Amino acid sequence: MLDGSSSTLVHRGQSAALVLLSLFFLPLDTFILTASYVYSYLFHQRPVDFHKSARGIPDFEAKTILVTGVGMTKGLALARLFYEAGHNVIGADFEPNGALVCGRVSKSITKFYPLQKPTPRGGSAPYIQGLLDIILKDRVDLWVSCSGVASAVEDGEAKEIVEARTKCRAIQFDVKTTQMLHEKHTFIEHTESIGLTIPETHTITSRAQLEEVLHHAPPDRKYIMKPIGVDDANRADMTLLPRPEQSETSKHVARLRISEDLPWICQQFIRGSEFCTHALVVKGKVKAFVACPSAELLMHYEALPAKTALSKAMLRFTQHYAAKGGDSFTGHLSFDFLVEDEAMTDPEKIVLYPIECNPRAHTAVALFEGTTSMVDAYLSLLQSSRVSNGASTIVTPLRNDKYYWIGHDFMVYFLLPLYKLLTLNSSIADFMKDLQFFITHFLFWKDGTFEIWDPLPWWWLYHIYWPMRFLTCIRTGQKWSRINVSTTKMFEC
């Protein structure tokens, strides 16, 4: 994997190689695209039939739904759900450097609008005004925000303005709540204040402060450092502190850029398994929920059965959090947990250590594919308080599908292992293990972007969007270390 120390020429070569790879697979993927349309037309229910059957329901009233972030899997998945339920869906998203996002060509979207990304110099005003213009022009009933990490707070600002100036309601937390949940240190502080367990956590603004914490650490306790802000270069660093030797600890600490302007958190390292959740919260009540195993760069999704003790424990945690927020607490709520003993059968005895909160939609929402009852959960925001606050069943995924992204797995579990094998950096046994992993996913798992009645976004992602991003990198010399195909995030270095 390349990093910031690698030459610009090597980085350009990396981007060029991926453009060539896209061209190599273009004929095959175009054949799959065409075959999908033919199959869908002849043998499979067509997307127009979804719309017609949904609209044939007595007393059905089609709503106009704005889904932002449709270039990401999570936004696209929700747009498809609303479309299948018979509603009019408008899509919008940022298009970095003119790279056309895949959601704009989805069958589920009647209109697409590019949005102007908030910047430190330009601020959030153009972005919020763009949203407001769309909502007013198309008479949007419900805005479903599927923001990325870089625009979470701006979406909170937009929610307050949109709901103050229009009749549209928003699935989005307000500014204060978004900021509190988004920042790691304030999230931990709030979690502790409402009576929930947290790992030992310290806000660090100087190297001396960090050294003081490490000096007084219990003998068997380790810590990890996390930047509070968005920092692609350091977010994957899982170095445990203190190191075995004091000199190693001092050397590592010296490399960290810590200051009042660049604060970090020093958090207790929990030896356990990592899990994540996605929840829809409406007026302080959890309306939809799923939990799944997690990882630092999560590219494989498999839902925990809702009846398991671990899933119930994480749901109880989420419900407690939502209830403390009150009637104004509405948005997508996702937690990352570490669990030391995941095999316990009593949900009340499972100790959850929350390590992060994402006050936005999680890619795990893709697990709700085909679960059209999810739409009713969203639309409950438009109902009166008396109706929406009544007893209701929490929506969980209808299917047991497992999700992956073929572009990611092909690179990570076939091409790179093959390269290592050919350069004598791995064994045949290691290569066969990775190959088996890839084949299992290809045969039995579902691609997160591909849908047989709506295949163009999948084709577009690999042959239009990413090549445009890579060509920009070649032109500008931009360096990147890795990409997340599902969120279209490029980690710069």
Give the model's pLDDT for residue 406: 97
One-letter amino acid at 380 equals S
State pLDDT tens for residues 354-400. Answer: 999 999 999 999 999 989 899 999 999 998 755 555 557 899 999 89
Are 69 and 75 in contact by the 8 Å Cβ rule? The answer is yes
- Measured CA to CA, the distance from residue 9 to residue 473 in angstroms comes to 11
Integer Cα distance of 124 and 257 in angstroms: 27
> Among all chains, which residue has been given the structure tokens 């997508």?
332
Mean of the pLDDT values across residues 269-291?
95
pLDDT tens digits, one per residue of 177-209: 999 999 888 999 999 999 999 988 888 999 888
Q: Which has the higher per-residue pLDDT, 119 or 181?
A: 181
Distances (CA, A) of 493 to 1, 159, 477, 481: 11, 32, 12, 6
Q: 119 versus 404: which is more confidently predicted?
A: 404
CA distance 157 to 126: 12
User: For position 245, what pLDDT does the model report?
Assistant: 84
Secondary structure (DSSP) of 221-274 = --EEEEESS--TTTTT----BS-SSHHHHHHHHHHS--SSSS-EEEEEPP-SEE
Q: Is the pLDDT of residue 47 over 70?
A: no
pTM: 0.90
**Where do the domains of the chain lie, and which CATH numbers do they carry?**
8-40+405-492 (no CATH), 42-172 (3.40.50.20), 200-268 (3.30.1490), 272-403 (3.30.470.20)
Of residues 465 and 151, which shows the higher confidence score? 465
DSSP codes of every residue in 407-462: HHHHIIIIIHHHHHHHTTSS-HHHHHHHHHHHHHHHHHSEESS--TTS-HHHHHII
Query: CA nearest 374: which of 284, 283, 290, 458?
Result: 290
Per the DSSP assignment, residues forming a β-bridge with 135 are none
CA distances from 163 to 142, 157, 442 (A): 10, 10, 44
Q: What's residue 50's pLDDT?
A: 67
**Which letter does DSSP use for residue 302 in this model?**
-
pLDDT of residue 348: 87
Is residue 232 pLDDT above 90, yes or no?
Answer: no
Mean of pLDDT values over 39-52: 75
Question: pLDDT tens digit string along 309-363?
Answer: 999 999 999 999 999 999 999 999 999 999 987 777 888 889 999 999 999 999 9
pLDDT, position 250 = 84
Cα distance between residue 227 and residue 204, in whole Å: 9
132-143 mean pLDDT = 97
Residue 230 predicted with pLDDT over 80: no
Report residue 233's pLDDT band, with 50, 70 and 90 as the boundaries: low
When the pLDDT of each residue in the chain is averaged and rounded to a whole number, the result is 91
Q: How far is CA 409 from CA 428, 442, 445, 486, in A?
A: 18, 9, 11, 12
Q: Give the helix/strand (H/E) hosting 406.
A: helix 406-410
Q: What pLDDT score does 345 carry?
A: 80
